[in-house]
Amino acid sequence: MLTLECPYCGVKAEETELTAGGEAHLKRYGPGSSDEDFESYLFVRKNPKGVHFERWRHAYGCGKWFLAARCTATLEVFGTYPAQSKEPPAELQAKIRAKRPNWEGYR
C-alpha cells in the first residue's frame, strides 16, 4: 500500500486517504495560447516508466495539495514537498540522482 507523508500536516497517509492528481510541474497556459500549448498542458503527459513527479491531495486529512516524487516502475517514494514549489527541491533531486544514476531530470 502506497504511503506518502503530507508535507503540511506531517501525517504519513496511506493511499485511501489521498487523491492522485497527475503529473506535476506542468506549464499552465492561459487565454491567447496556441492549440499546441493547450494540448500539452491539458492532455500530453510524460508518463515515464521510472521517476515521476506528481500532484497529490491529502483529501481525507488536511485537504491540501502537495507534490511527490515516486518511481512508477518500483512504487518507491523518494519524497514529498509543498505544492508551491516551482521545481523539485535540490536535495530531493540529489537523492533521486544518487539512487537512479541514469535519471534524465524532471522535465
Partner 1 sequence: MGLKRYSVFAIVREAMSYHQGWERAWPWPKPKRKYDVVIVGAGGHGLATAYYLGKNFGITNVAIIEKGWLGGGNTGRNTTIIRSNYLQDPSAAIYEKARSLYETMSQDLNYNVMFSPRGLLMLGQTEHEVRGYKRTVYANNLQGVETRWIEPDEVKKLVPIINIAGPRYPVLGALYQARGGTARHDAVAWGYARACSAMGMDVIQQCEVTGVRSEGGRVKGIDTTKGAIDCDKLGLVVAGNSSVLAEMAGFRLPIESLALQALVSEPIKPCMDVVVMANTVHGYMSQSDKGEMVIGGGTDGFNNYTQRGSFHHIEETVRSLIETFPMLSRLKMLRQWGGIVDMTGDRSPILSKTPVEGVFVNCGWGTGGFKAIPGSGWAMAELMARGHSPLTEEFSMYRFREGKFIDESVAAGVAH
**Edge-to-edge, what's the strand order for the sheet holding 19-23?**
19-23, 51-57, 65-71, 77-82
Of 52 and 58, CB closest to partner 1: 52
Per-residue mark of binding to partner 1, 76-105 (x: CB under 8 A) = ------------------------------
Per-residue mark of binding to partner 1, 32-51 (x: CB under 8 A) = ---xx-xx--xxxxxxxx--
Q: Does 11 contact partner 1 by CB under 8 A?
A: no
Cell numbers 515516486 label which residue? 70
Of 1 and 98, CB closest to partner 1: 1
We find the least distance from the C-beta atom of residue 97 to partner 1, in angstroms, to be 19
Q: How far apart are the C-alpha atoms of 14 and 4, rounded to whole Å?
A: 6
Cell numbers 503527459 label which residue? 45
Of 11 and 44, CB closest to partner 1: 44
Q: How far apart are the C-alpha atoms of 54 and 83, rounded to whole Å?
A: 10
DSSP classification of residue 31: T
- At 92, the amino acid letter reads L
Contact positions vs partner 1 (CB under 8 A): 1-2, 15-16, 19-20, 22-23, 35-36, 38-39, 42-49, 52, 54, 70, 72-75
